[in-house]
Amino acid sequence: MTRFVRLLLAFGALPLVLPASTVFWTLQSVSFSDGGTASGTFNYDADTNTFSAINITTAGGSVLPGDTYTFLCGGDINCSGVAPNSGQALFLDSDPASTNLNGLTGLFLQFTPSALTDAGGVNSISGSEITCSGSDCNTPTTPSRDIVSGAVSGQAPAPEPSSLLLLGTGAVLFGFRRLRKQV
């Protein structure tokens, strides 16, 4: 067996190692108990437990007028008592510059039956939109409205070729070139 054939077999037999990627999640048909709705998207990387590119808008109903959420609750505010931001749940507030949530709206989303993953898929959503009482929103709040239906759908990005695949392609092309020169 020639060295070239052995090289081809080695690269063909090795599995491709593709890095996990951030998944693009979309809210679907989310409705609140007061007739309002929510729509939007966000990215989530389960490996690093990181949310990014958050863009969620709620439309008004009979209890709350609706708001826009583009970032996680955090920074100078202790929101951990409301909801831990993870693949299972997240809490968004409506003002990135505020150090006091009192009077601001917050959106709590919980994903069931399981946490979000890097594989994507569809999860049900529960949770609520609230008007915060207290500087950190840990005090029971009113007015509020609950999510009564909806889901979140995640689309994993198409995998990119790994370095190993690129290296193997180069080796194959080099082998063909060398084989042609010998003939």
pLDDT, tens digit (0-9, with 9 covering 90-100), for 104-151: 888 989 998 888 988 899 999 999 998 888 777 777 677 899 999 999
As for how many domains the chain has, the answer is: 2
Specify whether 12 is located in the same domain as 27: no
Specify whether 54 is located in the same domain as 110: yes
Q: In the chain, where does DSSP find H-type helix?
A: 3-13, 163-182
| pLDDT tens for each residue of 85-103 | 778 888 888 777 777 777 8
Specify whether 114 is located in the same domain as 178: no
Alpha carbons 57 and 68: distance in angstroms, whole number: 4
| pLDDT tens for each residue of 8-40 | 445 554 444 444 578 999 999 999 999 999 999
Mean pLDDT for 45-60 is: 91
CB 159 within 8 A of CB 15: no
Whether pLDDT at 158 is above 90: no
Specify whether 13 is located in the same domain as 35: no
Specify whether 14 is located in the same domain as 102: no
Domain, as residue range, for 171: 3-18+162-182
pLDDT of residue 15: 42
Specify whether 150 is located in the same domain as 94: yes
Whether pLDDT at 65 is above 60: yes
